[in-house]
């Protein structure tokens, strides 16, 4: 019960008492009491009017505050609605961005595939331009040497031609710097172009059958390959190491890959992941146990190692044959 309610209850009780007094017979003794009660009644009425006015003012103020709060609440609801609309628009924009990102990713993937195809085309073109060229490694260098004269005995032995005929069959002969020659202080390689392709193949076949020497030094004859193809072939070093250990002949696929017979079936490996899968799954444990544990650990390494820049003479020679 509020204070105002209690006050009203008290006033009503007093009024009831006054009413009862008014109904009683009027005597001189009671007239004074009557006047007193009448004054009391007027006082209560006046106070009631004041309290009622105060109560009405309080109610009015509360209603005003409530109206203000309702107005603010409506404004908040309007603001929340705007936020919801903004969030909805953001979600729609994000969906559009996701679609756009997917389209861009597809375009980038198509561009990457196109670039890879272009790289393959350029690698094949370079290979075609160098298909009549050979590289000879291990020929000692002399001061003021005539490069062709350094390999003339070798060419005469293999081709069976005279000096004058060889001069007509050889073109663009020069020495080139290599990493091994710089790091190991070895003679620079000799690169030359054969006019006829059959003479080039004859040199390669002879080199595969016999180890030639010049001035007491072992020499190696290799195909001249574009740098791009050499880099790709390095990625298959673990695969070629395994095939050589198993004495399995293979040939390179241009621009990338290996072809060999495995269990009587022609097998083509054209990507590094395929080589990894072959080494991991196809090679049986009994076959691997026939070789050293050291070789087994190397076989199961990742085929492609961009940090591995080494290429010894034996790997270089075998990588160029066939």
* Mean pLDDT within 32-55: 75
- For 165, the token pair is 């005929």
- For 283, the token pair is 């090679």
Q: What is the pLDDT of residues 73-93, one digit of tens each?
A: 777 777 787 888 888 888 888
Q: Is the pLDDT of residue 137 over 80?
A: yes
Cα distance from N-terminal residue to C-terminal residue, the chain: 109
pTM: 0.51
Q: Is the pLDDT of residue 33 over 80?
A: no
Mean pLDDT (the chain, rounded) = 78
Per-residue pLDDT, 21: 56
Q: Is the pLDDT of residue 228 over 80?
A: yes
* Band of pLDDT at residue 173, cut at 50, 70 and 90: very high
Per-residue pLDDT, 47: 77
Neighbours of 140 (CB within 10 A): 13
* Band of pLDDT at residue 303, cut at 50, 70 and 90: very low
Per-residue pLDDT, 34: 65
* Mean pLDDT within 28-47: 71
Quick one: CA dihedral 172, 146, 143, 206, positive or negative? positive
Q: Is the pLDDT of residue 213 over 50?
A: yes
Q: What is the pLDDT of residues 235-281, one digit of tens each?
A: 999 999 999 998 999 999 998 999 999 988 999 999 999 999 999 98
Per-residue pLDDT, 120: 86
Per-residue pLDDT, 260: 94
Separation CA 154–CA 203 (nearest Å): 9
Q: Is the pLDDT of residue 123 over 80?
A: yes
Pick left, alpha or beta for residue 139 (phi over 0 → left; psi -120 to 50 → alpha; otherwise beta): beta
Q: Is the pLDDT of residue 7 over 60?
A: yes
Query: Phi and psi for 257 in degrees, rounded to 5?
Result: 125, 175
Per-residue pLDDT, 299: 40
- For 30, the token pair is 């009671």
Q: Is the pLDDT of residue 292 over 60?
A: no
Per-residue pLDDT, 149: 93
């Amino acid at each position: 019960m509020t204070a105002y309610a209690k006050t009203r209850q008290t006033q009503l009780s007093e009024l009831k008492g006054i009413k009862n007094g008014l109904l009683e017979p009027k005597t001189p003794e009671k007239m004074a009491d009557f006047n007193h009660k009448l004054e009391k009644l007027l006082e209560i009425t006046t106070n009631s009017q004041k309290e009622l006015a105060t109560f009405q003012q309080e109610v009015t103020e509360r209603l005003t505050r409530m109206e203000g709060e309702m107005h603010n609440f409506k404004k908040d609801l309007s603001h929340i609605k705007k936020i919801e609309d903004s969030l909805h628009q953001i979600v729609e924009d994000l969906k559009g961005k996701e679609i756009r990102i997917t389209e861009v990713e597809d375009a980038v993937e198509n561009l990457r595939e196109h670039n890879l195809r272009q790289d393959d085309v350029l690698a094949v073109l370079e290979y075609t331009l160098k298909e009549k060229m050979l590289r000879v490694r291990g020929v000692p260098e002399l001061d003021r040497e005539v490069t062709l004269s350094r390999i003339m005995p070798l060419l005469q032995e293999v081709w069976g031609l005279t000096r004058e005929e060889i001069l007509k069959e050889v073109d663009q002969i020069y020495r080139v710097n290599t990493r091994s020659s710089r790091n190991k202080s070895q003679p620079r390689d000799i690169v030359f172009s054969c006019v006829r392709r059959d003479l080039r193949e004859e040199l390669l076949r002879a080199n595969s059958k016999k180890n030639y020497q010049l001035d007491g030094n072992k020499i190696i004859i290799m195909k001249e390959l574009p740098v791009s193809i050499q880099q790709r072939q390095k990625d298959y070093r673990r695969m070629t190491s395994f095939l050589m250990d198993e004495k399995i002949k293979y040939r390179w696929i241009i621009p990338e890959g290996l072809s060999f017979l495995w269990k009587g079936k022609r097998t083509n490996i054209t990507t590094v992941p395929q080589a990894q899968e072959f080494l991991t799954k196809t090679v049986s444990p009994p076959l691997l146990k026939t070789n050293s544990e050291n070789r087994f650990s190397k076989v199961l390494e990742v085929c492609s190692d961009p940090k591995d820049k080494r290429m010894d003479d034996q790997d270089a020679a075998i990588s160029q044959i066939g």
